[in-house]
Amino acid sequence: MIRRIKSFSSFPPLENALTEPNGLLAVGGDLSPRRLLEAYSRGIFPWFNDGEPILWWSPNPRMVLFPDELKISRSLRKVLKKNHYQIRTDYSFGQVMQACASPRKGQTGTWIHPQMIAAYTALHEMGLAHSIETWMDGVLVGGLYGVSLGKVFFGESMFSRVPNASKIALVHLIKQLQYWKFGLIDCQVKTDHLASLGAREISRMEFSQRLDMLITGLEPSSKWNFDRILIE
């Protein structure tokens, strides 16, 4: 049975999550910064359609990407070497969320609705949510956004308006996180797109244990400034 939570109550233990649908843990609560930070620090994230109650998830297994396990295909490496783009961080966070919210091919709706955009914009203003953006000729063509706590980056969504634009942003993010010695990128659920870059599944228990080690006692920076990382 799924527990209904209120604004003042905590999440139930992760082992209470359903196996079908995979990872559904709780319903209700709010999307306040306090609630979202509690959720992410425990490996829980919100995912629900506009007009529905807030649903909280902790799937098992969990798709993650360890920065040192990044795989860059030969074709993507050629694209990166062209250097015909500019990477910006936190330059147009709102634009990135709106672009990620646009319905994908074959879809009629999106889970990135105004309530979610407002919640993550509040985290962005606190220096906890970030966007990594690919620009070409002064135009935003791709990127991604997510939440950073300690030495963990929790990826939320990405978009591309030209081929490989989101992958370009992701590779630059991962290279920077390697430099900063981040331990983990949370990808939430399995996709072929992320698997091609080296992401893999681990158990919920292992994921939770790694979060405990990588988040405790560490403060995120208020603004991200990428160093010049060479993509070889």
Segment 38-47, tens digit of pLDDT? 999 999 999 9
33 is in which domain, residue-wise?
3-60
- Tell me how many domains the chain contains: 2
pLDDT of the residue at 229: 57
Does pLDDT of 221 surpass 60? Answer: no
Q: Are residues 183 and 124 in the same domain?
A: yes
Does pLDDT of 107 surpass 60? Answer: no
Q: Are residues 133 and 122 in the same domain?
A: yes
pLDDT of the residue at 109: 55
pLDDT of the residue at 133: 96
Rounded-to-integer distance, Cα 48 and Cα 24, Å: 11
User: How do beta strands 184-188 and 152-160 pair?
Assistant: parallel
pLDDT of the residue at 9: 86
Q: Per-residue pLDDT averaged across 180-189, rounded?
A: 95
Confidence of residue 217 (pLDDT cuts 50, 70, 90): low
pLDDT of the residue at 7: 76
Q: Are residues 41 and 75 in the same domain?
A: no
- Average of per-residue pLDDT values in the chain: 91
pLDDT of the residue at 216: 74
pLDDT of the residue at 108: 53
pLDDT tens digits along 95-106: 999 999 987 665
CATH number at residue 191: 3.40.630.70
Q: Per-residue pLDDT averaged across 67-83, rounded?
A: 93
Rounded-to-integer distance, Cα 73 and Cα 75, Å: 5
Q: Per-residue pLDDT averaged across 113-127, rounded?
A: 95
Residue 227 resides in a domain: no
Q: Are residues 26 and 118 in the same domain?
A: no
Residue 110 resides in a domain: yes
Edge-to-edge strand list for the sheet holding 152-160: 86-89, 129-136, 139-149, 152-160, 184-188, 62-65, 200-202
Buried-exposed string 31-51: b where 16+ CB fall within 10 A, e elsewhere:
bebebbbebbbbbbbbbbeee
Q: Are residues 14 and 42 in the same domain?
A: yes
Q: Are residues 127 and 75 in the same domain?
A: yes
Q: Are residues 48 and 150 in the same domain?
A: no
CATH number at residue 18: 3.30.70.3550
Does pLDDT of 64 surpass 70? Answer: yes
Q: Are residues 123 and 137 in the same domain?
A: yes
Domain boundary among 13, 32, 60: 60
Q: Are residues 50 and 103 in the same domain?
A: no
